[in-house]
Chains A and B, each alone.
Chain A
Amino acid sequence: NAGVTQTPKFQVLKTGQSMTLQCAQDMNHNSMYWYRQDPGMGLRLIYYSASEGTTDKGEVPNGYNVSRLNKREFSLRLESAAPSQTSVYFCASRRPGGRYGYTFGSGTRLTVV
């Protein structure tokens, strides 16, 4: 089915390890987003990419880097994982001109021990 695909679905890291969360969409959307969901905090924007070749910081960018590899793919990298980065991470994409046309992936549950 068309949509947003995130890998992996689950991951356990040790403090200080690095990893990359992958996201790909096949809807030809221009804009892509990374959010994290924490209990009592809702979803908070980490980074976004308005179009291929551009990336910008969101509300909580510290400790993360992103790469917009092409129009389809937007990855999120944790260079040195910390327990505070334990969260559920969601990738989303938005069609041009669609202010409500966000499509979310099913999430990556990350635990840092």
Chain B
Amino acid sequence: DQQVKQNSPSLSVQEGRISILNCDYTNSMFDYFLWYKKYPAEGPTFLISISSIKDKNEDGRFTVFLNKSAKHLSLHIVPSQPGDSAVYFCAASGNAGGTSYGKLTFGQGTILTVHP
């Protein structure tokens, strides 16, 4: 039972354009969502996060949107750069006291390729 799903295995965009990566979740106990970026032969690194009390969080070129009613979040990268080419993982965590608190449940990942 995949509680966090990234249905697009890959995405290809042109440099300077917007990249939109999507993520869906099924567990209503999740209340904190994160995006991680992973380069080959390296561990994932934290990119941006959002709490369920918000619907948007921005950090420079990266914006995460959360739609709780649809159990959907997305990561927007504007403008996209070739150095953004990596695997992006969506992850979710549950609230304090819940069984998923402090543990991250990851999606399958989306390979982003940004062409010069």
Contact = CB atoms under 8 A, between A and B. Distances in A.
Contact of B32 (A4, A45, A58, A99): A99
Nearest to B1: A59
A106 B43 CA distance: 4
A48 B5 CA distance: 22
Given A94-B102, A100-B32, A41 B108 contact: yes
A107 B108 contact: no
A77 interface: no
Contact of A43 (B42, B44, B46, B49): B44
17 contacts: A4-B43, A31-B102, A33-B103, A41-B108, A43-B44, A45-B103, A45-B104, A48-B102, A50-B102, A58-B103, A90-B43, A99-B93, A100-B46, A102-B104, A105-B43, A106-B42, A107-B42
A71 interface: no
Nearest to B44: A104
Given A99-B93, A100-B34, A100-B49, A42 B106 contact: yes
Interface string B10-22: 0000000000000
A42 B109 contact: yes
Interface of B: 4, 6, 9, 32, 34, 41-46, 49, 89, 91, 93, 102-109
B9 A40 contact: yes
Interface of A: 4, 31, 33, 35, 40-45, 48, 50, 58-59, 90, 92, 94, 99-102, 104-107
Nearest to A43: B106
A40 B6 CA distance: 10
Contacts of A106: 41-43
Given A100-B32, A100-B34, A106-B42, A42 B89 contact: yes
Contact of B46 (A35, A41, A90, A102): A102
A64 B45 CA distance: 25
